[in-house]
Amino acid sequence: MKKLTIALLLLVSTHLVAGELAWVDEQIEAIKPPRKGISIKDISKLKDPFIFLHAKKAKKRVRSPYRRYSKSSSGKRKVQTYSSKLQLEAILNKTALINGRWYKEGEKVYGYKLEKVNLQSVLLTQGKKQILLSTVSKSKNLKFNNK
């Protein structure tokens, strides 16, 4: 008797589950037909959504006729603090924005080697010649808040 009851319950449950599986099969069949979309010809007529910015060609740089050499009282060369063609615009980690271009330590900047990047200045060397570029402004009209 127990075996018959278990077998009957098993048959009823499989019949109920089979009905649910039939519903899933119907849903799958509804999805199978290919959907109509935009044709390849229409896709090829569309404008490219990605914008690529092309870098401008660098202008030829002319060396500045102004060269400053100064020696301190001890006979050592003093670090130059001004250059007419190099302008330090920003410093971020160990990189510096000089004349609109980013440079890392050790890279060449207009014939100078970028030796050291500090929080507010960078040191450029060319042989024995050294230039110190700084973000500190001596102008009283400009005020920068360093946070």
Tens digits of residue pLDDT in 47-94: 888 877 776 666 666 555 444 455 556 666 655 544 457 888 899 988
Higher pLDDT pick, 39 / 75 = 39
Tokens of 20: 């649910």
Q: Which residues pair with 126 in a beta bridge?
A: 129
Tens digits of residue pLDDT in 11-37: 888 877 777 777 888 888 888 888 788
Domains in the chain: boundaries: 1-32, 88-134
